Amino acid sequence: MNNKIAQQALPKTKPYELRDAKLNGLLLRVQPSGVKTWYLEFERGKRIRLGRLSSMGHSEAVEAAKNALGPYWAGTDPRIERQKRKQVSTFGNFIDEHYADWAAAHQKTATATIKRLKVSFSKFLNMPMATISPLDMERWRAQRMKDGVKTNTVNRDITAIKAALNRAVE
């Protein structure tokens, strides 16, 4: 299956699935509504939703499927691995449970960085990480500048949160 075949799959009265010829377990489910979704079936009756065709082409679905198969081949259920990633919901939880330990091991100024993140970005601590947007950061920056905080301080704060959020993505 390639992107062209996936795009041209027409909806029928009942849902149906198109399976990839090269990667076992990768399939495209076509709903009667016309919604097309990529899934990875790693065992009989066990599957993971990878994403919709509208946001993920065939090559991205193959890559996502290979990434999801890593934990499976290591002996764990990929659904559990995904659930673990979703458990760290707020920015504050991420800092306390993950980032602080990593920073202590990899940064000379870990204590100051953690303090800077908690004080400067206190309004983001209870927000789900997925909802923190560039617009929120820009509003935060504008408010700090309006409050008379020096540009260098604001830039240091932005650098600290960028590093933390990049670490969260990793």
Instruction: Quickly state the pLDDT bin for 102 (edges 50, 70, 90).
Output: confident
Q: What integer pLDDT is reported at residue 113 of this predicted model?
A: 92
Q: What integer pLDDT is reported at residue 90 of this predicted model?
A: 85
Instruction: Quickly state the pLDDT bin for 146 (edges 50, 70, 90).
Output: very high
Q: What integer pLDDT is reported at residue 153 of this predicted model?
A: 93
End-to-end alpha carbon distance in the chain = 30
Q: What integer pLDDT is reported at residue 154 of this predicted model?
A: 93
Give the list of residues 6+ apart from residue 23 with CB closer than 8 angstroms, or none: 62, 65, 66
Quote the DSSP letter at residue 96: I
Q: What integer pLDDT is reported at residue 49 of this predicted model?
A: 84
Q: Averaged over 51-75, what is the pLDDT?
A: 79
| Amino acid (one-letter) located at 7 | Q
Domains of the chain from N-terminus onward: 3-87 (3.30.160.390), 91-169 (1.10.150)
3-19 tens-digit pLDDT: 667 777 888 999 998 88
